[in-house]
Structure 1
Amino acid sequence: MQKINLKDKFSQFTDFWSPKVIGDLGDYQVKVAKFHNQFVWHHHDQEDEFFLVIEGRVAIHVKEKDSEQIYTLNAGEGIVVPRGVEHMPVAEETAHVLLLEPATTLNTGNVVNEKTVKNLKRL
């Protein structure tokens, strides 16, 4: 066991949309990532995701039936995106985000593109 200092973990990288593993909880991983600008629309067939904004603001765009819903998260706020829900995170300014999700979760879900990270770095 060792304590985790989030400020220290976020200071160790500068890239955006590339989650880093900072801990394991059984079959789940605790990850940190920096968000900036727009990600990609995607969903996860098997995994739920928990987003917790540590610093900044993130808008989680969600497609619900025939409409789009936007959930704006400020520092200290989080949201669970259930499996199968099409979503796209957007951060107008740099945001620091903690993620809790199964270890099998691919950051871009059902989409594979230049933002896909298959082998996550551990901090």
Structure 2
Amino acid sequence: MRKINIPRAFDRIHECWSPHIAARVNGQDVRLAKIEGAFEWHHHDGIDEAFFVVKGAFTMRFRDGDKEWDVEMEEGDFITVPAGAEHMPVAEKECWIMLIENAGTVNTGEHLSERTKTDLPEL
């Protein structure tokens, strides 16, 4: 068994958009990440993804064809992005998030880029 203090764990994350694994539960990763600026449009085929705002705020942008909409996320908010939904998180200032998703899920989903992280560090 291992105990982790979530707010203090963020002190060990030094790069934005670089998720770290805080725990594994029943085949799911609990990941922590600092985000700032815009990520990139992506989706995860067959995989839901949950976001919890630990500190700060961000906008989760969605699009479906020509339709786009935003969901404003504030400290304490939780959202599940359904499998296949095209989305892009955007944070005007540094924001701390917790993600829950299947172990091994690639952070950029089906879109591979220079931001793709495949070997996530553990906290």
TM-score range, shorter chain: over 0.9
Alignment of 1:1-123 (within 5 A): 1-123=1-123
Q: Report how far residue 13 of structure 1 moved.
A: 1.6
| Deviation string, structure 1 residues 39-58 (Cα, Å, up to 9, x no partner) | 00000002100000000101
Conservation of the 8 A alpha-carbon contact between 2:56 and 2:94: yes
RMSD (Å), alpha carbons: 0.9
Structure 1, unaligned runs of 5 or more: none
Length-normalised TM-score, structure 2: 0.96
Of 65-74 and 78-87, deviating more is: 65-74
Q: With the length of structure 1 as denominator, give the TM-score of the two structures.
A: 0.96
- Counting matched residue pairs gives 123
Displacement after TM superposition at 1:61 (Å): 0.2
Work out the CA distance in 2 between the residues paired with 1:43 and 1:54.
Answer: 23
Question: Identity percentage over the alignment?
Answer: 38
Using the TM superposition, give the Cα deviation of residue 2 of structure 1 relative to its aligned residue in structure 2, in angstroms. Answer: 2.4
SS in 1 for 2:108: coil
CA contact (8 A) 2:53 2:97 kept: yes
